[in-house]
Amino acid sequence: MIRWTNFDALESYKALNALNKVDLVKEMSGENGAKRAAEYSVPMAGGLAFNYAAKAVDADTLKVLAQLADEAQLTEKYAALYNGEMINTGEKRLVLHQLTRGQLGSDVIADGVNKREFYAAQQAKINDFVAKVHSGEIANAAGEKFTTVVQIGIGGSDLGPRAMYLALENWAKNNGCFKMEARFISNVDPDDAAAVLKSIDVAHSLFILVSKSGTTLETLTNESFVKDALANAGLDASKHMVAVTSETSPLAKSSDYLAAFFMDDYIGGRYSSTSAVGGAVLSLAFGSDVFARFLNGAAEEDKLARNTDLLSNPDMLDALIGVYERNFLGYSATAVLPYSQALSRFPAHLQQLDMESNGKSVNRFGEPVDYVTGPVIFGEPGTNGQHSFYQLLHQGTDIIPLQFVGFKNNQAGMDVVIQNSTSQQKLCANVAAQIMAFACGKEDDNRNKYFAGNRPSSIIIGEQLTPEALGALLAHFENKVMFQGFVWNLNSFDQEGVQLGKVLAKRVLAHETTGALKVFSDLLGI
């Protein structure tokens, strides 16, 4: 029997509060530090490992965190979710994104359909379409192959797929499986669509319109932009566009599109990269085989997230350390710092995933909670960030926990030796160095050159950013956010906080405003 209980009503909440703080400077120095670095590591899928040696936890902390996992019934709640219980209570929806990449528990039948089969069938339909596009069986009016795919979508229809595309672009180019360039149009700012349209050859471009409801204003507006551009080029828009939407949306059976691929209400936008939302664009760009490998990586990580032993469950462990930092160490933000240029937009995806899921003040019953919930998430790739905001991370007045990611090998297979090391070695040396600099700091009589240390980080280390590794990485953070939502007793799968702005924007456009809103509308020339 699952109990949905507020975090501060749990016994382990008190136990966590009573813990002695861990001194990272001491823990990470000398032989003890070496032992931690070697032992505080959990295997992940895709050849990755989650290393938490430089987190401010010790055996005592981990013991209480394991009690918390048990008391908060994290494993049971995860099982309830993937077995099809209605976890998104606010919107009365199941939460099934894990089913898009595998079968974890029992069959989930909803709306009279086996949902695993439904998602697999949609991807099979995509694969069939993709094969025809790549072979030229589906081509433009002149019978020429499409060379570019343009995703039109915003939020979850943009950030995740875009981050995944950038993550694999160079890997695909270097491994002979790069099929089509992908571009993305998201913002309602007309300069966004204009810039993308100017940079592509529309006659050889295939557009994917992505909107679950089929009513997202930004996306419909940008569709209209694209249709104008196609018409101006003398092209039939319906031969250049496909839709990714729900079966009940106005886009589902429109003759405006070459094809329609479906997701449903059980896939939240920010969890949709492994559904048709990511499936269409990524399969067109890299081939269906690569997308299947990406799904496999995610599915394997989902399996690890079932482990009941906290210390062999990387997703749950990461989640609970994060909760400890947020609620008991008082840290209000987390920086995501991938030492991989390919992950340049991965932090922007995690920003949505995490902040939209757990940036909430009421529990799943709509009651205000008395503890802090989701942190601010931000980040940029290393080493770039070192030359930017790391100053504050090292010597600022607030402590910001850090999430590093690093790979032994690069993707493009090009490198150069300068001062006796390759660029890849320099990249990896920097992330190793940063972990230790943040943890242990440095004494100096000149306080300007003094580093207090005790700034916690974890690192996910892999061989190379492959499709499997990327899938595992994505699922890791999805599952981390899910577990944190369970602990905080939130509904991590709705987003009521985005509604008010939409309502007021409509009022502005209808000129139905008074007071300050009218003044701001006037100032902005509306």
From candidates 84, 155, 268, 485, binder to a copy of itself by CB under 8 A? 155
Q: Does the protein bind a copy of itself through residue 509 (CB under 8 A)?
A: yes
Q: Which stretch binds a copy of itself (CB under 8 A): 117-125, 205-213, 302-310, 358-366?
A: 358-366
Query: Applying CB under 8 A, which part among 2-10, 142-150, 297-305, 446-454 lies near a copy of itself?
Result: 446-454
Of 15, 131, 188, 252, the residue at the interface with a copy of itself (CB under 8 A) is 188
- Min dist CB 135 to a copy of itself, Å, is 26
Residues from 93 through 152 that contact a copy of itself (CB under 8 A): none
* 93-99: long-range pairs with CB below 8 Å, 24+: 93/265, 93/266, 93/493, 94/266, 95/266, 95/268, 95/271, 95/493, 96/264, 96/266, 96/267, 97/266, 97/267, 97/268, 97/271, 97/272, 97/274, 97/275, 97/478, 98/299, 98/302, 98/475
Q: Which position among 74, 96, 282, 393 is part of the footprint of a copy of itself (CB under 8 A)? A: 393
CA quadruple 506, 508, 513, 514: dihedral positive or negative? Answer: positive
**Known catalytic residue at 387:** yes
Contacts with a copy of itself, 403-432, as mask; x by CB under 8 A = ---x-xxxxxxxxx-xxxxxxxxxxxxxxx
Binding to a copy of itself in span 469-508, by CB under 8 A: 491, 494-508
Q: Which is nearer to a copy of itself, 238 or 450 (CB)?
A: 450
C-alpha dihedral sign at 346, 44, 357, 69: negative
SS3 159: helix
249 vs 358 by CB, closer to a copy of itself: 358
Among 305, 461, 474, 487, binds a copy of itself (CB under 8 A): 461
Nearer to a copy of itself, 80 or 432 (CB): 432
| Contact flag: residue 2 with a copy of itself (CB under 8 A) | no
Closest to a copy of itself by CB, 259 vs 372, is 372
Of 220, 258, 292, 311, which one interacts with a copy of itself (CB under 8 A)? Answer: 220
Question: Cα 417 vs. chain centroid, distance in angstroms?
Answer: 34
169 is catalytic: no
> Closest separation between CB of residue 209 and a copy of itself, Å?
14
- Contact region for a copy of itself (CB under 8 A) — 123-131, 240-248, 433-441, 479-487? 433-441
User: DSSP assignment, residue 417?
Assistant: E
DSSP string, 434-466: HHHHHHH-B--SSGGG-B-----EEEEEES---
Closer to a copy of itself by Cβ: residue 308 or 388: 388
Residue 287 sits in the site that holds a copy of itself (CB under 8 A): no
Give the burial string for 165-180 (b: 16+ CB within 10 Å, else e).
Answer: bbbbbbbbeeeebbbb
Binding to a copy of itself (CB under 8 A): which residues in 48-67?
49, 51, 53-54
Q: Which member of 6, 123, 148, 340 binds a copy of itself (CB under 8 A)?
A: 340
Choice from 111, 137, 289, 398 touching a copy of itself (CB under 8 A):
398
Please tell me the count of residues contacting a copy of itself according to CB under 8 A.
Answer: 159
Site for a copy of itself in 223-262 (CB under 8 A): 224-225, 228
Q: Which residues pair with 347 in a beta bridge?
A: none
Residue 43 CB, nearest approach to a copy of itself (Å): 13
Which DSSP category does 398 fall into? S
- From the list 4, 485, 74, 99, the residue with the least C-alpha distance to 307 is 74
Is there binding between residue 369 and a copy of itself (CB under 8 A)?
yes
Least separation in angstroms between residue 502's CB and a copy of itself is 8
Catalytic annotation, pick one of 253, 303, 387, 408: 387
Residue with smaller CB distance to a copy of itself, 27 or 302: 27
Shortest Å, Cβ 256 to a copy of itself = 15
Among 75, 273, 283, 434, binds a copy of itself (CB under 8 A): 434
Q: Which member of 356, 380, 468, 478 is catalytic?
A: 356
Site string for a copy of itself, 157-176 (x = CB under 8 A): -xx---------xx--x---
What torsion, rounded to 10 degrees, do the Cα atoms 201, 204, 209, 210 define?
Answer: -90
Looking at 109, 392, 481, 483, which residue binds a copy of itself (CB under 8 A)?
A: 392
Binding a copy of itself by CB under 8 A: which of 2, 21, 332, 512? Answer: 332
Q: Is 356 a catalytic residue?
A: yes
Stretch that binds a copy of itself, among 59-67, 137-145, 283-291, 513-521 (CB under 8 A): 513-521
What is the DSSP code (8-state) at residue 404? E
Using the rule CB under 8 A, give the single segment among 35-43, 128-136, 250-258, 288-296 that binds a copy of itself. 35-43
Tell whether residue 215 is a contact of a copy of itself (CB under 8 A): no
For the chain, report the end-to-end CA distance as a whole number of angstroms. 55
The amino acid sitting at 222 is: N
Number of H helices, E strands in the chain: 18, 15
Rank residues 9 and 49 by Cβ distance to a copy of itself and give the closer one.
Answer: 49
Whether the CB-CB separation of 459 and 406 falls below 8 Å is answered with yes
Can you tell me the distance from the alpha carbon of 239 to that of 168, in angstroms, rounded to the nearest whole number?
A: 28
Q: Report whether the peptide linkage leading into residue 245 is cis, meaning its omega lies within 30 degrees of zero.
A: no
Rounded-to-integer distance, Cα 99 and Cα 107, Å: 10
Q: Which residues make beta-bridge pairs with 109?
A: 114
Q: Which two tokens stand for residue 12?
A: 């382990």
CA dihedral 161, 167, 169, 174 (to 10 degrees): -150
Give the DSSP letter string of 241-285. EEEEEETTSTTTT-TTSSEEEEE-TTS-GGG-TTSHHHHHHHHHH
Given 26, 502, 506, 512, the catalytic residue: 502
Active site residues: 356, 387, 502
